[in-house]
Structure 1
Amino acid sequence: MWFNKKPKTQLQRLAQLLVKKSGTTTVEIARVLPSTTPTRRLSDMREKGWTITYKLKDDGQTKIYFGTPPKV
């Protein structure tokens, strides 16, 4: 994944993935972040006030995550 301006932190990168209209999966998160625990990064975002939701893909197993930033 390429970014117009490369985010500096893992959470900044994750924020860009979560606000995409198509959402993101844990596999995509793991590709972009140098982290072995993408779900922990999602928890970090929740702790920072983000609303994280997911939908199941057609296969019924893969979760597609979406995020809404906190209101300032």
Structure 2
Amino acid sequence: METSTPKVGRRRRAPAAGHEESVRQAPDPPIYRALLTRWEEDGRTLPGQRDPEWSRIASSPIWPTGPLFGG
């Protein structure tokens, strides 16, 4: 049963002006850079880059065609 009483709870307050959060981009640690270099040499997909295999699969037709599939 619905009541007309407003729901009570905590409300998130907006931060005061000048106190916005900032994200600082720290350089990658050497071990992480070495891992990325190794993955790149092996032809693997790297974080932050498109995956060519996924792009190929996602752009393929939904249903296969050809003599084996009746098309």
Shared fold per TM-score greater than 0.5:
no
Band of TM-score, shorter chain: under 0.3
Which is helix-richer, 1 or 2?
Answer: 1
Relative contact order: is structure 1 or structure 2 higher (C-alpha 8 Å, sep ≥ 6)? 1
Query: What TM-score, normalized by structure 1, do the two folds share?
Result: 0.17
- Higher share in strand: 1
Q: Which has the larger radius of gyration?
A: 2
